[in-house]
Amino acid sequence: MAETTRTAQIMLLPPTVADGPPQVLMDDGGIWRDMALPQGDVAGQSEMRRKIELHLKTAMDLVDSGVPVLPDAAGFKTQLRALYQELLPIEVREELKKLADSAQAGDPPLLKLFLTPGAEWIPWELLHDGTKFLGLRFMIARLPIVRQATEVKGPRTRKVESVFSLLGKDILQNPVFVEWEKIFSGFSPLSTWERRYPPSSNGAGYPTLDRLDEARGADVVHVTCHGGLKDGNEYYWTLDHNNQIFTDYRITETVARNATLERRPLVFGNACASTATQSQNRGALYGFGANFMIGGALNFVGTFAPITKTIAVEFARRFYVQLFGNGAALRAPIAQALWATKRSFMEQGCTDPSYLFYCLYGPPDVTYEPA
């Protein structure tokens, strides 16, 4: 995946006024141009965030109740089109449209987003440009602007010798549980390649944070848990949402930042909706990507809002098929693998829009080769 003129780069910096929109800079041949909207022309960030969270919550509550939600129907995409226009000035939108329109079928351009923490809530992959969602028009890579050192240097071909797959308690039941067990099957002949917790569907061996600590030496850390829960101002994931000893089960930003991952792994976070998120913070826009990168991850794939359990398992399986391939000829770099997975759901007319909620942090050109 060579980076040529088919790459757009946008930098989002903190607003110049309280609760204003982020400052928008765009790479123009090596010069960063200030493209920000006049600060008084748009709604505040808190109001934008409130509206889009409510929109996602409404859509996903319908999905939970059995009502199909077509992502490309006007009722779903109009709000996301409006947010796109509010956030980015017309000159930026025109540049992105020109780049996307010039792409050949099956060969999307790359969009790099350099983000300060205050801009991480924005669902860039879900913004709609009038033609499609950005996550379907572009391969998108989020690159956080952080103070702490991260481990993103080094070779872009990664050997995967160890996989940890952790599933939170009381999240999946059969037959979805059985499908979760198959996510990593068939990619490596090594019997010790995958360590899965719980090991089987008999209910024993569900993980605590100790298992996440044990995964420090893995090359892929895959977590399926409850997400979108909130304690004060902090969102968190949990491996057991009913256990009162929450310190053994909660994955917070602090846990992610201090994960001390040793082999620069890919961390994949599948944050599923729980009963609590459906009634309270179901549409919550949050992310752990920058924090896991500070904790040692080379790449992070996760969702910016809770997703359905069926999508969580099926999306993960399709993604790893794209990422690991069936031999080197079919192996895709991570940004391309994520884009192709989303496209597969779009092409089948999926009526659950949560497949669009996935985002990528870290370098887009990394390939992962199973041992």
CB atoms within 10 A of CB 355: 24
- What does the pLDDT read at residue 37? 62
Length of the chain: 371
Q: What pLDDT is attached to residue 1?
A: 47
| Distance in angstroms (rounded) separating the CA atoms of residues 181 and 238 | 20
Taking 70 as the pLDDT cut, the residues of the chain under it are 1-5, 36-43, 148-154, 201-203, 274-284, 327-329
Each residue's pLDDT tens digit, 120-145 = 888 999 999 999 999 999 999 999 98
C-alpha pair distances (Å), 47 with each of 19, 58, 122, 162, 252? 9, 17, 12, 43, 25
pLDDT for residue 354: 94
Q: What's the whole-model pTM score?
A: 0.92
Coil, strand or helix at 102 = coil
- Summarize pLDDT for 327-370 with one digit per residue, the tens: 655 889 999 999 999 999 999 999 999 999 999 999 999 999 99
CATH of 157-370 among 3.40.50.1460, 3.50.50.60, 3.30.70.660, 3.40.50.12160 = 3.40.50.1460
Q: State the DSSP code for 107.
A: B
d(CA 188, CA 55): 41
Residue limits of CATH 3.40.50.1460 in the chain: 157-370
